Structure 1
């Protein structure tokens, strides 16, 4: 690199010549030498004015001591995980924030970045061990709490951490820059705010929830958010450490390769997250278009309440309330046509028009009178949307695969096969979701998994086997398929007596003697009830 002392005096005079009256159009453009000189001066300022006063050894020792696996680290991880999962189950943001403040996961991630910058393989291995142990322990601890908890419903707080996007990556990036700077400059108090911003523990708690409930959609979405935060913070910390001179001679030689790898990782993560963000941005822009088209369909004296849009339905459902002195009979169809043209998707529009007087304040007065009714309708719509999202997450399917019948208040979905999930698990998932939606009938159609065997004693079916029979009948109702029961004539006779009116859903097949009745799926449909 050229320094100012190496530049000939003639070049200095030529570059700095700025005589009065000189025409700017005739001046020479900034030369490459001037640019190099400026870069050299910036590097000199950074080296002598910023990095020189840092105690690199003390900083490394402090970061190393806080990033290893210790008993305190394990205890604080357990407490943070427990608080996080309880806050998520209760849908309490305040409790979740408390878990973020306690989480010690930021320390080994920052340590990973510094070990990468300094090329310390042993330190990197020990940070990875601490991070892996803390993450796995937090997931299993949260899964245990969810398994023992009577609350196992997907809440809004849980659902909010299953859809990572590009903004999450940017939040982690900026938070890592702030956290690394605070560590390097000895301002650890800033880490508290960084821990809240990146929210490392809540996604891990949601991963544990997905594991406990065998909901792999929730599991994968939350794990993606955690990995996004982890990788972004670690690599950004490495870049900041190298920038502030925390690197060995070996890492300096490999600097370009490391920078290329880090840039590649960021790009690879940003692409899928960008697609997710594009969907969110499209919905936000679509809401603006809906507001504009509904307002343009009426006169300036009309008052339009915020339209409600259900993006998950097919076609898109738009509902709005308008207070207007002039009733428009074709407003629904006209707005629907314009929205279909601008959004490129089928749209169903329902506009409730309330005709008011011509007084300029009549529309506002009518809107105020309708405010409470509208608030109740919005709350109901939010409940329906939340029910649809929760059922899709529990069933492990896309939102458009969930059928919501508003008129009959019925929600239906066909569950995707979940490894290790028995028939009773699907029945329990349906019950738990139904308890969260009073007034709604939730129907979760299970996959064709193995049916339980029935044990028939001398006194007939005991309580345990009666529940198994009820479970078999539930599966027959949900799938619409008949069930074939095989066993001895005596055992089948006992089961037939317990079936009652449900006898029409099963076929009997007598076999060898014994007190066991096996159940199997049939290809004959019975119709769902």
Structure 2
């Protein structure tokens, strides 16, 4: 009898078993794609759909166009910025940032770029161009007429843009675009401070007015960096929030490539600049270390000035040391040339101090105090020159200053209705708080007052008038003629001669007064 053997068919596996047998890589990819799909769905429904795009676009459009208010705020912000830079006052510069309206057209240009609204983009570009030119010219005019045209620390800080500046503009633009999209416009104030759009333009105006093209180019590069970065970042944020665009898919890809190229074009020179700054910082630390090693342990470096751009690189420093090192300059220069791989010219001023461990620090403190006193003295002298020029009605360049002998002199212009007493009061005002200084305001020559007498003698009024005549003669350095009678005439002449004034007398005048005049007949 034939036997038939049957093989039982395998039971179908459960879904759990199928999941286990699926390749691990495909499972991970499937899970990640599903998570991304869920995230996109949530972003579209919970975030994008919650944004009123028409309201955002209209609000941004209204704030980003060229208007009379925009021009006025540009001028006010530019004026405050350049004055803050000239005074090296960060607080004043921040005030200019708060007023600057430049942020709005830059953000508007970014949204116009993202939505393909080229008419809006053209209007924003015009507002930016006109506003920037107006700000530069307005600042240049202020600097041109200003007596202060020195490159301050606030100005110098905006002449060397680097990659960090691009990152600051990037983060600020992200915050600014988010504030616009979510309706948090108050945040723009903080963003404006961070990106500092107006101060770089003010520095461009400074460079233009002083013909300092290094300052001009560096600050212009910083402004362009901020402008382009903010605009492109705003465009990307608008895309991210799903703002509708008029561009085709091909045009969108071309735009994306253009944005990427623009970022790279900015990042490369800024990265090189950052690399240079980093090298200079590292070189400065190496220079300090080499100089310290050339002296004994208790020596201290007081000042260090390095001109990296010169050839050879120039280094000037002063060192407080218990022991002089005669070969210090040659030894330090030799070591630095080997470390930095470039020629070095170094000048070290050595100041000998005691051997006490704290002597160098004490000398350094005394040096710092002396420098602070010198700066304060220089400030007082500058204020004196400004006050003297102001009361004399002349440019500050016409004020003569003799710092060694502590003298200041200016020839006053003729002021209608102002007599000798008025000019003397102006001189006293200019000399206020300048004890030890001989401040002289030389007035224009005019007729002198007669000296009244009381019972044939100098009374209180006569003495005051004589003092005014003595002041006038000492300022003009002209000889006098006194006409009167008796002892009063001789007493007046004697007081004037003791003051170093040349006097001629005539004893045939009236008895109730002494007639005064210039011996050469000036202004009679």
Partner of 1:348: 345
Partner of 1:170: 167
Structure with more relative contact order (C-alpha pairs < 8 Å, separation 6 or more): 1
Partner of 2:500: none
Contact kept? 1:206, 1:219, Cα under 8 Å: yes
Taking the aligned partners of 1:291 and 1:62, their CA distance within structure 2 comes to 55
Partner of 1:197: 194
TM, length-normalised to structure 1: 0.61
Contact kept? 1:119, 1:251, Cα under 8 Å: no
1:37 is the counterpart of 2:43: no
Distance 1:46 1:167, change over 3 A: same
| CA displacement at 1:305 relative to structure 2 | 4.2
Distance 1:279 1:30, change over 3 A: farther
Task: Spell out the pairing of 1:360-509 with structure 2 (5 A cutoff).
Answer: 360-372=357-369
Describe the superposition over 1:209-233 as per-residue Cα deviations: whole angstroms up to 9, x where unpaired: 4444555444433332222211111
Contact kept? 1:171, 1:198, Cα under 8 Å: yes
Partner of 2:236: 239
One of 55, 59, 64 as aligned partner of 2:52? 55
Describe the superposition over 1:406-463 as per-residue Cα deviations: whole angstroms up to 9, x where unpaired: xxxxxxxxxxxxxxxxxxxxxxxxx999x9xx99xxxxxxxxxxxxxxxxxxxxxxxx
1:69 is the counterpart of 2:66: yes
- What is the aligned residue count? 372
1:88 is the counterpart of 2:85: yes
Larger radius of gyration: 2
1:180 is the counterpart of 2:186: no
Taking the aligned partners of 2:65 and 2:282, their CA distance within structure 1 comes to 46
1:288 is the counterpart of 2:285: yes
TM, length-normalised to structure 2: 0.62
Task: Spell out the pairing of 1:89-108 with structure 2 (5 A cutoff).
Answer: 89-108=86-105
Partner of 1:308: 305
Describe the superposition over 1:33-71 as per-residue Cα deviations: whole angstroms up to 9, x where unpaired: 343233323323322333232222221221111112222
Taking the aligned partners of 1:259 and 1:268, their CA distance within structure 2 comes to 14
Contact kept? 1:88, 1:157, Cα under 8 Å: yes
One of 202, 219, 222 as aligned partner of 1:222? 219
Partner of 2:407: none
Taking the aligned partners of 1:15 and 1:137, their CA distance within structure 2 comes to 72
Taking the aligned partners of 1:307 and 1:11, their CA distance within structure 2 comes to 76
Unpaired runs of 5+ residues, structure 1, are 1-7, 18-26, 380-430, 440-529
| CA displacement at 1:80 relative to structure 2 | 1.4
1:109 is the counterpart of 2:109: no
Partner of 1:120: 117
Taking the aligned partners of 1:152 and 1:324, their CA distance within structure 2 comes to 38
How large is the Cα RMSD of the aligned pairs? Answer: 3.8
Name whichever of 312-321 and 93-102 sits farther off: 312-321
Name whichever of 226-235 and 365-374 sits farther off: 365-374
Contact kept? 1:117, 1:251, Cα under 8 Å: no
| CA displacement at 1:108 relative to structure 2 | 0.7
| CA displacement at 1:353 relative to structure 2 | 4.6
Taking the aligned partners of 2:22 and 2:127, their CA distance within structure 1 comes to 57
Unpaired runs of 5+ residues, structure 2, are 1-13, 377-394, 404-524
| CA displacement at 1:150 relative to structure 2 | 4.7
